[in-house]
A and B are shown apart, each in its own frame.
Chain A
Amino acid sequence: MSRAFAIVNSYGRHTDVKGMQDYRPVSAFMFCGRYRLIDFALSNLSNSGIDRIQVYVGQNPRSLAEHLADGRIYNLNAKRGKLQLLFNQDSNENDIYNTDVAAYRANLDIIERAKQPYVIITPGYMVFRQNFEDFLQAHIDSGADITLLYHKVNNAKEHYRNMNILNLNRQKGVKSIENNKGTADERNISMSTLVMSKDLFISLINKAAKTSSVYRLIDIINDELENLDVRGYQHKGHFAAVYDFRSYYGANMELLDVDEAKELFSDDWPFYTQTTDAAPVHYFPGGKAHHSMIANGTHVEGVIENSIIGRDVTIMKGAYIKNSIILGHDLIGENAHIENQVIDKWVKIIHAKEIVAPDDDPGYIRREDTL
């Protein structure tokens, strides 16, 4: 049995994905044609032998609750393991009150009852592979109070806007935590993944609440950097965060690169998700695909290029899809030309023949729309 239980968050402070987020939390977004973003966090935990998991669900919980069910798909031990969905009443008066700390405090009794001495907190809206048992062991061996997972990047001027960055000293001690304002390319992006003892966690969330009603866990840690031994732990391998529409689009598309995909997916570290028993992809005469990922249940009679197609999509004769992400259950009608689009679920493109956005500014088609 692991020495840690886990908390999975479904929203970050600066996450704002236009359109899609109206229908489901970011962690429930479709990813790479068949996954939902939260599958990565939960599979990482399950593969690391951590089988007591609390998932904090924010607004629009339906799709997430439906997807996670009892957690059986994540290969969690049916008797010893447990996946809990924890809801908290989000405040309607002002969104600033809806912090992770408020959600933890609303479920404090459950956190206190956990038998494991350590807690690992990880977000449901980032894509990476990490053995959390190694992460926990490194934390224990170092004697640190808190260990934060980070990813070193060299393109922070243009990307990761408003995500937290860690300033580290040579011993990987965290000197300060700040927002990425895009002033430098070389940055240590915080992966919002941390480990500490359960007792410290409880005292920090209480302290945060006492300090300010809008404080998040990371704010109180930032305040306490002088008093606590907080260290960074570098993540290596593929890493993507979804914090806005562009990053969602990019995180999907970059996995069309075969070598990049190998960094994330490997046979010995499966990522689990819900099955729908969809039939294999059927290519009819004229149906072609190039540099694309296509999920089962799809009918291809048109041409797909550099795109990701979700489950049960019908692409009719003469249709041409380029640089696009189609989430699932959509109909792309005859001779439709789709370029640089994210098409949400259950969309029908029947009348519109040309839906083309510029390369650097992909468009979004709303769920259940008929065009």
Chain B
Amino acid sequence: MILAGGRGSRLKDLTKKVAKPAVPFGGKYHIIDFPLSNCANSGISVVGVLTQYESVLLNSYVSVSSRWGLDTRDSGVFVLPPREKADADLDVYRGTADAISQNIDFIDSYNPEYLLILSGDHIYKMDYDAMLSFHKDNKADATIAVIGVPMKEASRFGIMNTNEDGQIVEFEEKPEHPKSNLASMGIYIFTWKLLRRVLMQDMKDDNSHHDFGKDIIPTLLKDNRKLMAYQFKGYWKDVGTIDSLWEANMDLLERSSELNLEDNTWKIYSENTNELPQYIDTDADIDVAYITQGCKVFGKVKTSVMFTGSIVERDAAITDTVLMPGAEVGEGASVTRALIANGVKIGKGAVVGSPDSEHILLVSKNVPEGAVVKEAQ
């Protein structure tokens, strides 16, 4: 079950009309392609996607299950927005746990032994099947994937404190003085029978936030259940802000990027577009870039990522910049340390962003010819 209902409001205008999991990433992908491809590659064939905020695009996107090869018999991607039921009124998902609770009937219909819960807004590649084996081998009631983060950043995360066997003894949400650096990745495997019981109780609890981190995990710990930490090593990023989204895109430029989208044994699948291969013009100058199908480059592209159909015109230059799908940089314009949103046009000769800015400049409206834009619009 992929939790994909959040707005991701720190992504500002990028999530004004679409939910965060539908935000484009890495030239040709959407954020939700990552958990969906991971499921497909891990042999998990039935996936529910819990949507809520601005879900029209997201619903239609994920419902084409053939994109991830999840369209064979007994498999499928199920779009699960809140719904009215015979014995319950229509209600929004009140929290991450409530989103699962409201779909107990759906989960029961598959009679699973285990339930994998994922977040729809992280960038990483992971074999969930290996995590499930770990869960089974440890006869755990729940297993939570964790990743080591730098100690000084640990207070930004939900931190798991474990004993020497890797069993979780304490969970602290954004602790001021963290005792460990093992951050929860928001990836859980539960033994379904137990989780089902806990969710049924949680639904009736008026004081609960109906949230996995705030309510369900603490309840399980209080009940002395066996919660294991599954330590993940590799690339993982919560692209929650413009800066971190930009950074994750820039990470793709590294030669030995841990994410390595070019590994054909663990492909990230996405929608098929009918664009020509990229065209690089005679006078174009490329200096380290990640450029996808449908792009056209006539000017200079330096340490930048270009998404489907984006264009850099003659004598224009982009540096340390992300051009989202269909963004266009007009003749002679220069763009530095910026993230240009879908379809935004930068007019001829405009100057956008600056090399010494503290934050990455998000440009979500067209920039007129010759304009100078240094700060957020």
Interface residues of A (CB under 8 A from B): 32-34, 73, 256, 258, 261, 265, 270-273, 275, 277, 279-285, 287-297, 299, 304, 308-309, 312
Q: B262 contacts which chain A residues (CB < 8 A)?
A: 279, 282, 297, 299
CB distance from B47 to the nearest CB of A (A): 18
Q: Check A272/B276 contact, CB under 8 A, given A282-B262, A283-B290, A296-B28.
A: no
The complex places the Cα of A293 from the Cα of B277 at a distance, in Å, of 6
* Inter-chain contacts of B278 with A (CB < 8 A): 281, 293-294
CA distance A34 to B269 in the complex (A): 17
Distance A256 CA – B280 CA, assembled complex (angstroms): 9
* Interface stretch (choices B127-135, B227-235, B281-289): B281-289
Bound: A33/B280 CA distance, A = 13
B27 at interface, CB cutoff 8 A: yes
Query: B268 touching A294 by the CB < 8 A rule?
Result: no
Min CB–CB distance A326 → chain B (angstroms): 12
> Closest residue to A289 on the B side, CB-wise?
B280
Q: Which of A271, A280, A297, A299 contacts B291 (CB 8 A)?
A: A280
Let me know if A291 and B280 touch, CB within 8 A.
Answer: yes
Complex Cα gap A300–B274 (Å): 23
Chain A at the B interface: mostly helix, strand, loop or mixed?
loop
- A290 touching B291, Cβ below 8 Å: no
In the complex, whether B272 has a CB less than 8 A from a CB of chain A is yes
Please give the distance in Å from B325's CB to the nearest CB on chain A.
12
Selected A-B contacts with CB under 8 Å, 30 pairs: A34-B276, A34-B293, A256-B279, A261-B279, A270-B274, A271-B274, A277-B267, A277-B269, A279-B28, A279-B268, A280-B261, A280-B305, A280-B306, A281-B278, A282-B252, A282-B253, A282-B289, A282-B290, A285-B287, A285-B288, A288-B286, A289-B280, A289-B284, A290-B282, A290-B283, A291-B280, A295-B277, A297-B262, A299-B262, A309-B277
Cα–Cα distance between A291 and B292 once the two chains are bound (Å): 16
Excluding A280-B292, A285-B288, 20 further A-B contacts by CB distance (< 8 Å) are: A33-B277, A34-B277, A34-B293, A258-B279, A258-B281, A261-B276, A261-B279, A265-B276, A270-B274, A279-B26, A279-B27, A279-B262, A280-B27, A280-B306, A284-B288, A294-B277, A295-B277, A295-B293, A296-B277, A304-B280
Contact of B152 with A by CB under 8 A: no
A258 to B282, CA, bound (A): 11
Whole-angstrom distance between the alpha carbons of A42 and B63 in the complex? 26
Contacts of B283 in A (CB 8 A): 290
Let me know if B255 is at the binding interface, CB within 8 A.
Answer: yes
Pairwise interchain contact A281-B290, C-beta atoms closer than 8 A: yes
> In the assembly, what is the distance between CA of A309 and CA of B293, in Å?
12
| B270 is an interface residue with CB less than 8 A from chain A | yes
User: Digit string of B285-325 for contact with A (CB within 8 Å is 1, else 0)?
Assistant: 11111111100000000000110000000000000000000
Q: How many angstroms between the C-alpha atoms of A265 and B273 in the bound complex? A: 14
Give the Cβ gap from A214 to chain B, nearest Cβ, in Å: 40
**Which of B269, B288, B306: most chain A CB closer than 10 A?**
B288
Asked whether, in the complex, the Cβ of A280 is within 8 Å of the Cβ of B28, the reply is: yes
Asked if B288 contacts A283 (CB within 8 A), the reply is yes
* Nearest CB in chain B to that of A296: its residue: B293
Report the Cα distance A123→B291, complex, angstroms. 34
Shortest Cβ distance from residue A111 to the other chain B in the assembled complex, whole angstroms: 31
Closest partner residue, chain A, to B279 (CB atom): A293
Q: Within 8 Å CB of B26, what residues of A? A: 279-280
Which chain A residues border B284 with CB–CB below 8 Å?
Answer: 289-290
| Chain B residues with CB under 8 A of A32 | 276-277
Contacts of B305 in A (CB 8 A): 280
Top 8 closest pairs, chain A to chain B, by CB: A280-B292, A280-B27, A275-B272, A270-B274, A289-B280, A33-B277, A279-B261, A295-B277
> Which residue of chain B has the shortest Cβ distance to A293 in the bound complex?
B277
Q: Is the CB–CB distance between B282 and A283 below 8 Å?
A: no
When distances are taken between beta carbons in the complex, the residues of chain B under 8 Å from A33 are 277
Per the bound structure, the CA–CA distance linking A73 and B274 in Å amounts to: 10
Contact of A294 among B280, B281, B282 (CB under 8 A): B280
- Interface centre among B253, B274, B286, B290, by most A CB within 10 Å? B274
Query: Which residues of B lie under 8 Å from residue A287 when comparing CB positions?
Result: 286, 288
Interface centre among A280, A281, A295 (most CB of B within 10 A): A280
* B276 lies within 8 A of A290 (CB): no
Name, among A279, A288, A297, A312, the residue most crowded by chain B CB atoms within 10 Å (CB to CB).
Answer: A279
Contact status B280-A280, CB under 8 Å: no
Hey, which chain B residues are within 8 Å of A304, CB to CB? 280
What is the chain A residue whose CB lies nearest that of B291? A281
Would A291 and B28 count as touching, CB distance under 8 A? no
Minimum C-beta distance from A320 to chain B (A): 15
Q: Which residues of A sit under 8 angstroms from B288, Cβ to Cβ?
A: 283-285, 287
Whole-angstrom CA separation of A291 from B291 in the bound complex: 15
Smallest Cβ distance from A363 to chain B, in angstroms? 23
A32–B268 Cα gap in the complex (Å)?
24
Collect the chain A residues with CB atoms within 8 Å of residue B267's CB.
Answer: 277
A33, B26: Cα distance in complex, Å: 21
Nearest Cβ on chain B to A70's Cβ, whole angstroms: 12
Of chain B, the residue at the smallest CB distance from A39 is B274
